[in-house]
Structure 1
């Protein structure tokens, strides 16, 4: 416990230092072509702190390792989970770091046919490397198409907050832009009214303009949308096997900090960019739904309907906290 506290305090000082230094590549622990894994492989085994992992989130392995071929990064973004902020940041990174970026404006469908999945895999394989592909889409296993597996990253949000944001955003988009992806009979209905008149389960579904998070990590199988028990277990397995970093919106700076140190080729200096530019964009958008906060009764019913989503969210949160601490521990060596 004393070692963990010491590590955190040292890491906090390093975080503060990162905000004060100039944004040069020399200020980073790892150079542009080096991942944390490369350096750790040359470190003494006794210098690596072993974190307890009761959920088998890491299978006893370091979470500083890249999963996938570093030529490409895929961000299959979850709707209403800081994706707009990250898109701005990633565009800035592409300009400054010199990588290709695919900013796909395709919002739906998230569930892709086998042919579309193959097109995505082929497009990314033939792209000028290095490349980052971002799109609202469910997880694609590139092994299914005999293509190199990319580095997967993502961010999730507290499920109730994600539902609130998605519910009202889909209605704003329908009314203001005439892009409607749900049953428009209920376009003027508040989330409280939806839960009172029907059921919480229906109000967190695609028919109400809400995008459940499980399929984004489960994949494009029909069962990923129709069987929550299957989707939850498959999502966890895919996260363990294929995702290098999944952060949480509530700790977005920490997510960027981990990206910066594990995948510096793409994300060096991203924390400084976020502090100077990204936070302003994020804060402007976050004001839109502040007046639509549902009642505590509604939230209680929503939480019950989102039990599997919270299971996955807490799984991701625990995994990310282990990963963040491992980065801090390495920087403290």
Structure 2
């Protein structure tokens, strides 16, 4: 440029500078336009990608509505391995009343002679049925069967276990009179001990076998499962295993004395099955039908005699353990107002969700 200034007249030098400035301005302008075009192109690509993602989500949502997923509970299985004389029939009637409306199947597990322990081959068959019988899903299985650990059979998705237990002496008294007089559910059916008019108190006083402390040993083995030690009366290992299973394998275990609360909490936890259960329990007739006939409460002396046994102490410890766990869950789920129980609203939310979307 210095050489041009020497060789060119001043007028031409000015023109050259102007031409250079115009060229630089034009070049910068073109660069800016290219940058703007690049930004627009990137935004267009981003919008296209977002549109594709939204389209995929919409299609996925349509597919989920057309073929409901596991998250919707369409392949869920609930097992209620009901303990005898714990209001199990009253509760099961609710499931039968709701199955048509809520669109699920109810299946009764009827074992030979009401044996709560299945053979190994029947365990395999049962696990296979529960997991692979797609036509029956969603399903509610119920029966007097002890807990069965599905993980032992290589099953990845386990069923949901629920149950109800009762004060051990109250349960035994109810069972004692049920065997002699039946109940108002099927009053014409002849029971095994029909004709025996001896009261529970008379049985305890005479040291009878039907009211012996060994007869209390039932709720622990039902929760303990299909291990030989579970059925050894008075086994401390069985007690601890039953506690472990109750906490780790069961969604919810209620108590007969607070059955309405149990129904309410199940409706909140599993609406796919139990939507409408609380109202049905309060107003339905079937739920309150089954009552043991001719039942007489035991005297304090009879209860005290049973409570001296180590077996009662263990069964009662398990009952108290289950009751405490149930009341803990309930305390964090419901509130009482004007004598009525109300479920708590959702008490958590999500925040700081990343990455951010425009």
* TM-score (normalizing by structure 2): 0.66
Kindly state the Cα deviation for residue 200 of structure 1 after the two structures are TM-superposed: 8.3
Kindly state the Cα deviation for residue 286 of structure 1 after the two structures are TM-superposed: 2.6
Kindly state the Cα deviation for residue 121 of structure 1 after the two structures are TM-superposed: 1.2
- Secondary structure of the 2:151 match is helix
Distance 1:152 1:270 in 2: 18
- Listed as ranges, the matches of 1:15-164 within 5 Å are 71-106=76-111, 108-127=114-133, 128-147=136-155, 148-164=157-173
1:287-319 Cα offsets, whole Å, 9 max, x none, are: 6244x2221100112233311111111111111
Distance 2:320 2:286 in 1: 27
Distance 1:33 1:272 in 2: 28
Larger mean CA deviation between 298-307 and 91-100 belongs to 298-307
Kindly state the Cα deviation for residue 185 of structure 1 after the two structures are TM-superposed: 11
Distance 1:103 1:93 in 2: 15
Find 2:300's aligned residue among 279, 282, 296: 296
- Secondary structure of the 1:79 match is coil
Distance 2:69 2:345 in 1: 18
**Correspondence 1:276 to 2:290:** no
**Correspondence 1:243 to 2:250:** yes
Kindly state the Cα deviation for residue 194 of structure 1 after the two structures are TM-superposed: 2.0
Distance 2:299 2:198 in 1: 14
Find 1:193's aligned residue among 193, 199, 202: 202
Please tell me whether the aligned partners of residues 181 and 292 of structure 2 are also in contact (alpha carbons under 8 angstroms): no
Please tell me whether the aligned partners of residues 70 and 150 of structure 1 are also in contact (alpha carbons under 8 angstroms): no
The residue aligned with 2:345 is 331
**Correspondence 1:261 to 2:268:** yes
Distance 1:94 1:282 in 2: 15
Tell me how large the CA RMSD over aligned residues is: 3.1
Please tell me whether the aligned partners of residues 200 and 302 of structure 1 are also in contact (alpha carbons under 8 angstroms): no
Distance 1:73 1:266 in 2: 9
* TM-score (normalizing by structure 1): 0.70
- Secondary structure of the 1:286 match is coil
C-alpha change, 1:295 and 1:134, in structure 2 (3 Å) is same
Aligned residues: 262
C-alpha change, 1:304 and 1:123, in structure 2 (3 Å) is farther
Distance 1:248 1:143 in 2: 27
Find 1:219's aligned residue among 210, 220, 225: 225
Higher Rg: 2
Task: Structure 2 unaligned segments of length 5 or more: list them.
Answer: 1-67, 336-343, 348-358
1:227-255 Cα offsets, whole Å, 9 max, x none, are: 43121100001111100000011111110
Please tell me whether the aligned partners of residues 82 and 282 of structure 1 are also in contact (alpha carbons under 8 angstroms): no
